[in-house]
Amino acid sequence: MATHQYLGGQPDEALDRVDGRQKVTGAAKYSVDDILPGLTYAVLVESTIAKGHIKKIDTKKAQSAPGVLAIIYHGNAPAIPGYETGGNPAKPPTGGEPFRVFQNTQIYFAGQPIAIVIADTYERAIYAATLVETEYNKDDQRTDIEGNKDKAVVPKGPRYADYIRGEADAYKNSVIKIEAEYIIPVEVHNPMELHATTAFWDGEDKVTVFDKTQGVKSTQRSIMDAFKLKEQNVQVNTDFVGGGFGSGLRTWPHVIAAVLAAKKINKPVKLVLTRPQMFTMVGYRPYSWQKISLGATRDGVLTGLTHEAISETSTYEEFTDRTVDISKVMYACPNVNTRYKIVALDKSTPTWMRGPGEATGAYALECAIDELSYAVNLDPLELRIRNHADVDPVRNLPWSSKYLKECYQKGAEAIGWNKRNPKPNSMQEGEWQLGYGMGAGNFNANRGRATVKATLLADGSLVLQSAVSDSGPGTATTMTSIASNVFGLSPGKITFELGDSSLPPGPTQGGSTTTSTLGSAVHDVCVALQQKMAELVTIQGSLLQGAKPENLHFEKGYITLKTDASKKVAYADVVKQTGSSQLEVTKDSQAGDERNKYSIYSFAVHFVQVQVHRLTGVVRIKKVVTVADAGKIINEKTAASQLMGGVVSGIGMALMEDAVMDHRFGRYVNNNLADYHVPVSADVPDIKALFIDKPDPFINPIGSKGLGEIANVGFAAAVANAVYHATGKRIRTLPITPDKLLR
């Protein structure tokens, strides 16, 4: 369990991170660290072919290598009861069955774990793993989506059926037509911390696991299901997460492998994936081909929008994301239709990666909108305003709140949009061509379910607990801010505990929902605790006896009478009054029916200024302004960090990220951080992260919508559009690298 307490003084506005000191001093323990004494170390052996069967695995040499404790593979793997009964240990995204580790000889993808070697040191385990000899019956693999698009199918389930509003393919009959195809290659989350799992068993039916996960409760559930264990007998801990970006949303086969290995040798086992394994074992943003067709009047009013997408999945599971959904809701267009298909390839299953389908879809849509702006000779900002969706065009419901136009205005001012000469390739600075671009996006602002326990201690301090994990945004800090404001207590007296599956159930951290979901539960539990305190101070013989609860005021650790501030009772005294050492309230909190009345979305716009070198094709991002309508901003510092982080991942997406597979082998050729490029500090310019900061009146009691995803949705398009403005070259395949600009 990670205990987070604010250590600073009373802040003016935004709290510093409650875990900042632990993180910068090295006190924070991550799953990848050696957490327990007496560890043994496991290393996964991977398939070197992409399709076929294992003919033979010879472990003799490896087994006799120094320090080796055990080797598990399909030939000797202990039973995993949940696998055998058709259970579903790692809940698949939509269809198919998750890959079951060490259960049979079939090879689905290169880099598939086929054996696990456990030794007394990591070095010995990794050496022994090189001695495992495998023979295969190899089949020809299919890993390239290009050339296999004819095998694309519509995913199962009504959600993926073709969508039609008004007339299909109406763009064909429009005065102005834009048709363009866009490609995003495979992108890999590559958080700095490698995925890691440490497991140890206490007897036959009780296991403790330290895992890098974005959801401690979902990992607990997966392990319970796989090994048929009771909830109280599976303990999952995730104190700190060194980045996830979606890779920690599922319980992957390596987690089950580590738990299995610990069971086999009955000692604590630590498994850390290698960087190349991060490319094949914990998901990726799937390669996507998209086509956007737009029809419009000469005034730039949209008359038809068709969005088609083909994406990839594995042969054993259907992975889908909402690639085409953004085109349904982003603009007011009477005729919209979408087609979404997936191709099964001999690769591992993709997963959600920051901004998932929306970021993928917004890249294509927002580039196409930009292309349309030139076709109708209109400022791209004005074009977007002309087609602004005043209501949700899919459900025909009012937005709960929408300040996208305000975002446009604020961002345009901050970047100096009016300095932009609308003509492409018109703004030179020596050999550098200057360009401005924009891209917008939205993301469904959800609220899930969470339980928080609040304990008021005899010294007047407050402890809050929930089984959420914090993959980086600063969850405990945000929750401390909310509790401080709602409960009326200095943040220094509040502790937030998380990352422990035995705590009251918290949500998985994904889909930009943690603040909305957990923050609402924190709000609700603080209010409930105040109600309980109100009962106590008004009933029993206290100074406030007889006062009506609604006349009480909670601030800075004291309850006072609204009408008479001199009558006050310290929170600590309320606890003492009960005769016990603490006062506890647990509250379960979830959304009501507001979603039936309103469409609830977050919105953002990104403005970028780029320079492109005419001779070398190098793109430099000089300035970024991102403005978000994410409802009430709880903590400006952590929120700005979220936006900046999203922008940095957007810079990667726009300019460098590209997991290259050699399809002759079905294997990645740049599966390391030297060759798979993510932005370095020198690539990241001044980023202005701005907020509208107006509470959403309907989503939840705190007025906050989601932020993590919209920080990336639409960003890559803004860069691509700026590059077009700078050069007159439309690059429709990401990333925009020098070679593409020189063609």
Partner 1 sequence: MINFDYVRVSTIKAAVDAIVKDNNSLWLAGGTNLVDLMKKGVMTPQKLVDINNLPLKEIKKEGNKLIIGALALNSTVADNELVRKEQPLLALAVQAGASAQLRNMATVGGNMMQRTRCPYFYNTDMPCNKREPGTGCGALKGFNRMHAIFTDTEKCIAVHPSDMSVGLVALDATVLLSGPRGDRRIPFQNFHRLPGNLPQKDNTLERGELIVAVEIPENKLNKHVHYLKVRDRTSYAFALVSAAVAVDLEGSTIKDIRLALGGVAHKPWRLTEVENFLKGKAATEVNYKQAAALAIRGAKGFGLNNFKLKLAPNTLVEALKTATGKS
Distance CA 39, CA 362 (A): 46
Compare residues 48 and 103 and give the one whose CB is closer to partner 1.
48
**Which residue of the set 308, 366, 371, 709 is catalytic?**
709
667 lines the binding site for partner 1 (CB under 8 A): yes
Residue 743 near partner 1 by CB under 8 A: yes
DSSP letters spanning 521-566 = HHHHHHHHHHHHHHHHHHHSSSTTTT--GGGEEEETTEEEETTEEE
Site string for partner 1, 620-659 (x = CB under 8 A): x----------------------------------xx---
In angstroms, give the least distance from the CB of 683 to partner 1: 5
Does residue 669 touch partner 1 according to CB under 8 A?
yes
Q: How far is the CB of 738 from partner 1 (least distance, A)?
A: 6
Candidates 143-151, 508-516, 581-589, 679-687; binding stretch for partner 1 (CB under 8 A): 679-687
130 is a site residue for partner 1 (CB under 8 A) = yes
Find the binder of partner 1 among 568, 637, 677, 730 (CB under 8 A): 677
Nearer to partner 1 among residue 134 and residue 517 (C-beta): 134
Nearer to partner 1, 275 or 405 (CB): 275
Alpha helices in 540-672 (DSSP H): 571-578, 594-597, 636-655
Q: Where are the alpha helices (DSSP H) in 434-513?
A: 475-487
Contact criterion met (CB below 8 Å) for 629 and 454: no
The CB-of-742 to partner 1 minimum distance in angstroms stands at 5
Give the separation between CA 513 and CA 709, rounded to whole angstroms.
10
- For the CB of residue 674, give the shortest distance to partner 1 in the complex, in Å: 7
Smallest gap, in angstroms, from Cβ of residue 253 to partner 1?
A: 21
Minimum separation from the CB atom of position 588 to partner 1 (A)? 47
What residue spans of 377-488 are helical by DSSP H? 380-386, 404-415, 475-487
Phi–psi pair at 737, nearest 5 degrees:
-100, 160
510 DSSP β-pair partners? none
737: left (phi over 0), alpha (psi -120 to 50) or beta: beta
Mode of pairing for the β-strands spanning 661-662 and 462-465 = unpaired
Binding of partner 1 by 180 (CB under 8 A): no
**Complex with partner 1: residue 37 or 615, whichever CB lies closer:** 615
Q: Which span (464-472, 497-505, 553-561, 613-621) binds partner 1, by CB under 8 A?
A: 613-621
The reply to whether 140 sits near partner 1 by the rule CB under 8 A is no
> Taking the C-alpha atoms of 507, 511, 517 and 519 in order, what is their torsion angle to the nearest 10 degrees?
110
> Which residue from 470, 426, 392, 500 is spatially nearest to 725, judged by alpha carbons?
426
Runs of H (alpha helix) within 304-448:
325-329, 356-375, 380-386, 404-415
Q: Are 211 and 219 in contact (CB under 8 A)?
A: yes
Contacts of 564 (CB under 8 A, 6+ apart): none
Q: What is the CA radius of gyration of the chain?
A: 27
Nearest distance in Å: CB 656, partner 1: 6
Determine contact, residues 223/262, Cβ cutoff 8 Å.
no
Count of CB atoms within 10 A of residue 149's CB?
12
Amino acid at 65: A
State the residue for tokens 């295969």. Answer: 136
Q: How far is the CB of 102 from partner 1 (least distance, A)?
A: 21
**What residues between 682 and 701 interact with partner 1 by CB under 8 A?**
682-683
Interface stretch with partner 1, choices 67-75, 227-235, 236-244, 735-743 (CB under 8 A): 735-743
Q: How many residues bind partner 1 (CB under 8 A)?
A: 35
> Which residues between 40 and 59 bind partner 1 (CB under 8 A)?
48
Q: Interface with partner 1 includes 35 (CB under 8 A)?
A: no
Q: Is residue 613 a contact residue for partner 1 (CB under 8 A)? A: yes
Instruction: Give how far the C-alpha of residue 712 lies from the chain's centroid of Cα atoms, to the nearest Å.
Output: 10
Among 670, 694, 695, 701, binds partner 1 (CB under 8 A): 670
Q: Tell me how far the alpha carbon of residue 421 is from its chain's centroid.
A: 37
Rounded to the nearest whole angstrom, what is the least distance from the CB of residue 737 to partner 1 in the complex? 6
Tell me the per-residue interface mask from 397 to 436 with partner 1, x by CB under 8 A, - otherwise.
---------------------------------xx-----
Q: Is there binding between residue 617 and partner 1 (CB under 8 A)?
A: yes
Both structure tokens of 106: 């079939």
Quote the least distance from Cβ 343 to partner 1, whole Å. 21
Are 516 and 705 contacting, i.e. CB atoms less than 8 angstroms apart? yes
In the block, which residue shows the tokens 């703004």? 427
Q: Does 680 bind partner 1 (CB under 8 A)?
A: yes
CB of 303 to partner 1, least distance (A): 39
**One of 113, 253, 472, 679 touching partner 1 (CB under 8 A):** 679
Determine, following the binding rule CB under 8 A, whether residue 155 of this chain makes contact with partner 1.
Answer: no
Collect all residues with Cβ–Cβ distance below 8 Å to 86 and sequence separation of at least 6: none
Active site annotation includes 709: yes
Least Å from the CB of residue 189 to partner 1? 18
Indicate which single residue of 618, 641, 694, 730 sits in contact with partner 1 (rule: CB under 8 A).
618
Task: Kindly list the distances between the CA atom of residue 90 and the CA atoms of 94, 140, 253, 513, in Å, as whole numbers in the listed order.
Answer: 12, 28, 8, 21
Q: Which x/- pattern over 108-127 shows residues binding partner 1 (rule: CB under 8 A)?
A: ---------------x--xx
Is residue 38 a contact point for partner 1 (CB under 8 A)?
no
Q: Pick from 106, 660, 693, 701 the residue near partner 1 by CB under 8 A.
A: 660
Told to check if 183 binds partner 1 by CB under 8 A, we report no
Stretch that binds partner 1, among 80-88, 319-327, 520-528, 608-616 (CB under 8 A): 608-616
- Looking at 665, 693, 694, 695, which residue binds partner 1 (CB under 8 A)? 665
Number of Cβ atoms within 10 Å of the Cβ of 344? 19
Considering the complex, state which of residue 302 and residue 659 has its C-beta at the smaller distance from partner 1.
659
Scanning 85-93, 363-371, 408-416, 668-676 for contacts with partner 1 by CB under 8 A, the matching segment is 668-676
Virtual torsion, Cα 503, 509, 511, 514, nearest 10 deg: 60
Give me the sheet containing 619-629, strands edge to edge: 427-429, 432-444, 601-613, 619-629, 686-691
Can you give the length of the chain in residues?
Answer: 743
Q: Looking at the annotation, which residues are catalytic?
A: 709
Question: Which stretches of the chain bind partner 1, using CB under 8 A?
Answer: 48, 123, 126-127, 130, 430-431, 613, 615-618, 620, 655-656, 660, 662, 664-665, 667, 669-670, 674-675, 677, 679-683, 737-739, 742-743
